[in-house]
Structure 1
Amino acid sequence: MIKTVGPKRLSQLSDTDHSRWLNVSKGAVRVSTEEIDVLVKLYPKYALWLASGQISPGIGQTSPDYDEANQSSE
């Protein structure tokens, strides 16, 4: 998701600088709660997954992998 939006755009949308977003996208550092908040605002349907790793399609809470797997079955 970070790579889709891009570290530059995420730094423009938040108080987190570009280099931090770049390191998060590479997995060099752990994502913080502030960064999760930014991602939840951009992707509200992934809020549950971002916070807990769980999904609940019945209430519209999915993950990118779930959406990709179910895209071809629609």
Structure 2
Amino acid sequence: MLSSEATIQTTILADKLFAFLLIEPLGMREDRIRALVKYLSPAMVAKKTGLDRRRWGTVAHNLKVKVRIEDLDALIEAFPEYELWLWKGEVDPGQGQISPAYAEADLKLAGQEAGSR
């Protein structure tokens, strides 16, 4: 029998898997994962996630390789500010949820007092 914590974690994983596979076409989410790894660099992502840099390089540049749910989980754990964008393609800067494009624009505007930081 699973503990209540394990049951909760299993339920959360099942919900994520359902959303990952059925709610949105996988290709769109895969594209965002690849874009984020390219934006941050495979080396930086590897350092923050603890997963191999070669894996992240493959994810970023080899379209024949499928992105795994473990890759998505590792990205969200290491970079929670991109979670909403990775899952749904949306941003909510007020809640700290950004995209690479938003982060880039925010950095460029920072000197003009127009960004969120």
* Structure 2 length-normalised TM: 0.49
Larger displacement relative to structure 2 (40-49 or 19-28): 19-28
The residue that corresponds to 2:37 in the other structure is 2
What is the letter of the counterpart of residue 6 of structure 1?
A: A
Partner secondary structure for residue 97 of structure 2: coil
In structure 2, the CA distance between the partners of 1:51 and 1:9, relative to structure 1 (3 Å rule), is same
What's the offset of the Cα at 1:20? 3.9
Distance 1:24 1:5, change over 3 A: closer
Contact 1:7–1:22 (8 Å) recurs in 2: no
Q: 2:59 aligns with which of 24, 36, 44?
A: 24
Q: In structure 2, what is the equivalent of residue 55 of structure 1?
A: 91
Q: Secondary structure at the match of 1:72?
A: helix
Question: Which whole-Å CA distance do the structure 2 matches of 1:30 and 1:8 have between them?
Answer: 17
Length, aligned pairs only:
71
Quote the residue 1:36 is aligned against: 72
Task: Report the CA distance shift for 1:22/1:5 in structure 2 as closer, same or farther (over 3 A).
Answer: closer
State the Cα deviation string for residues 18-45 of structure 1 (Å, max 9, x = none). 5543321104223221101111111110
Aligned partner of 1:45 among 64, 68, 81: 81
Larger Rg belongs to: 2
Distance in 2 (alpha carbons) for counterparts of 1:66 and 1:8: 18
- Structure 2: state its 5+ residue gaps: 1-35, 111-117
RMSD across aligned positions (CA): 2.6
Structure 1 residues 54 and 33: alpha-carbon distance in aligned structure 2, compared to 1, 3 A threshold: same
How far apart in 2 are the matches of 1:70 and 1:21? 25
1:9 offset after TM fit, Å? 2.8
